[in-house]
Structure 1
């Protein structure tokens, strides 16, 4: 299953609490919560290119499955990450002790950071703030 396409942000659940717990400043959280960004994914085999356009900011992340790459967090921190596939529709990225799952179902991509058992809770993430769900819908007219 190919992730390639352009996706428009549809909804965000628990965005503010998650970002606050991640250490993102309030002004950046407030700007980000109302922006309906566009995510373009180009997949060529095991190589991915994610281009996120939100307001006037464009962020590009390129990586190959199983190989370490660098990405920026919402706070601007550069972190090392590794991504791999689970099945044919889940892209899992591990970085800074966190796990991010990007799941493709039909024309919808859902991205979330799964909750961990209490014994593995990330410092600074109160219960309930450890998960964020972001749904995007493919714009079929601009599908690659």
Structure 2
């Protein structure tokens, strides 16, 4: 999988609705809705480190495939996520959230589902 590298948000669908559903404040939603954060993904075997540069902060999470890992959530809280590889996809599951990451046409596609809400992000390599 060629996930390693720098990726910048190119487009997203349903961000404000999803952000509200997970408890992000209206003030932070307004500040970040047009932001184009950069994700730096590093891989060492089955361990991935994701550093995201948001306008208001930098977040770094390290996960190992097939092992529960503690991560920082967009709400500022911590959570436990289990990440697996299924074919060409990376699949993350946590407390009712299901997320897939896949490279399609050279772009990183993320689909995050929480209950009936689906949030989609597309990132380009930079």
Report the TM-score, using the length of structure 2 for normalisation.
0.92
Q: Which residue of 2 aligns with 1:142?
A: none
State the match for 2:18 in structure 1: 18
Structure 1 residue runs without a partner (length 5+): 116-121, 140-144
- d(CA) in 2 for partners of 1:75, 1:55: 15
**Aligned residue for 2:125?**
138
* 1:59-74 matches, cutoff 5 A: 59-74=59-74
CA RMSD in angstroms comes to 1.4
Cα separation, 1, equivalents of 2:100 and 2:35: 21
| Superposition deviation, residue 113 in structure 1 | 1.4
Shift of 1:56: 4.6
Q: Report the counterpart of residue 82 of structure 1 in structure 2.
A: 82
Q: RCO (CA 8 Å, sep 6+): is it higher in 1 or 2?
A: 1
Paired residues for 1:103-122 under 5 Å: 103-114=102-113, 122=115
The equivalent residue for 1:43 is: 43
Aligned to 1:118: none
**Which segments of 5 or more consecutive residues in structure 2 lack a partner in the other structure?**
none
Q: Secondary structure in 2 aligned to 1:132?
A: strand
Shift of residue 2 of structure 1?
2.4
106 and 41 in structure 1: CA distance in 2 versus 1, 3 angstrom threshold: farther
Note if contact 1:2-1:43 (Cα within 8 Å) is conserved in structure 2. no
Cα shift at 1:36: 0.8
Please state which structure has a larger fraction of its residues in strand.
Answer: 2
Cα deviation, 1:1-60, whole Å, max 9, x if unaligned, reads 221110111011110011111221111111121111101111122110101012251110
Separation in structure 1 between the aligned mates of residue 96 and residue 70 of structure 2, nearest angstrom: 14
